[in-house]
Structure 1
Amino acid sequence: MTAKEYMKEAKILLRRIERKRREAESIRICESSPSSPAFSDMPKTATHNPHRMSESINRAIDLDREADAAFDELSALKSAFLEALQKLDNPDERDLMYKRYIEFKNWNEVFHEMGYSKSAGYRVHSSALSKL
């Protein structure tokens, strides 16, 4: 797997995890907040679902499980990439790749933290990619 493929897959997994966690939290908030009574002169529906709350809670639990599974997948992906990074002899290359692909920092942050200009940083990155 190339670094670009790894980054694409990792970002997809991160978005999936965040989306599922947000959905689950939204369901929890809706179920925990009191609902105001609706006053209306219209007749009530006869098909009130008495299991609505338990279904919502089960849905939130399922979303948490799906997010956990995606997190496990992301962890395995990171482990495989970390293993590949250990093959790099140059510590600067390892650090740059770690900051970019494990910590998911943008290029400006990576270059600033490492004290590189853009051209020097991209040169180190290119060198690391050629060795992976």
Structure 2
Amino acid sequence: MKEYWEQAERLRRRINRKIHEIHLLRQRAEGMNGSGINDMPRTVSPDRSKMEGTVFKIMALEQDIQETQAEYDALIAGMEARINAVQDSDARDLLSKRYLEFKPWSAVAAEMFISKRKAYYIHAKALESLQYDAVQFT
């Protein structure tokens, strides 16, 4: 489970980082077209090659986000299938909150109206009941 958690977090961070990078590139591109209102003198002809380069970077980042999102979705779908195989409904609920919704233990316990200690106990029992594939959570 730890490997799954770390991999999912890496993918989420990568997606968010690229979204932020696109946002910054778009802000920079808006400044290139000279439409901003400020007291700085404008260039007569904006540099089209810089604008094209920025657009190409944005397109490449969007493609990378789509690929990373597909990898993330496959990881989540695999985990969801494993969780749905657990017979105990409380254990399924706990695993879903923790590994699909990425909630901290305190939030999981509060939503289930149990102590964190009880949440850890249910978690341990649920992990025992999960059916492991040849490659665990990858």
TM-score range, shorter chain: 0.7 to 0.9
Aligned Cα root-mean-square deviation (Å): 1.7
Shift of residue 49, structure 1, vs aligned partner: 5.5
Q: Which moved more, 1:49-58 or 1:62-71?
A: 49-58
Listed one character per residue, the Cα deviations across residues 36-94 of structure 1 (whole Å, up to 9, x for unaligned) are: 6469xxxxxxxx96400011011011111111111110000011111111110001100
Same amino acid, percent of matched pairs = 31
With the length of structure 2 as denominator, give the TM-score of the two structures: 0.82
CA distance in 2, matches of 1:91, 1:99: 12
The structure 1 residue matched to 2:103, chosen from 84, 102, 105, is 105
With the length of structure 1 as denominator, give the TM-score of the two structures: 0.86
Q: Which ranges in structure 2 are unaligned for 5 or more consecutive residues? A: 131-138
Q: How many residues align?
A: 122
Report matched runs for 1:1-132 at 5 Å. 3-33=1-31, 34=34, 37=40, 50-132=48-130
CA distance in 1, matches of 2:41, 2:128: 65
Match of 1:42 in 2: none
Aligned letter for 1:96? L
Q: Which ranges in structure 1 are unaligned for 5 or more consecutive residues? A: 40-47
SS in structure 2 opposite 1:51? helix
CA distance in 2, matches of 1:61, 1:103: 29
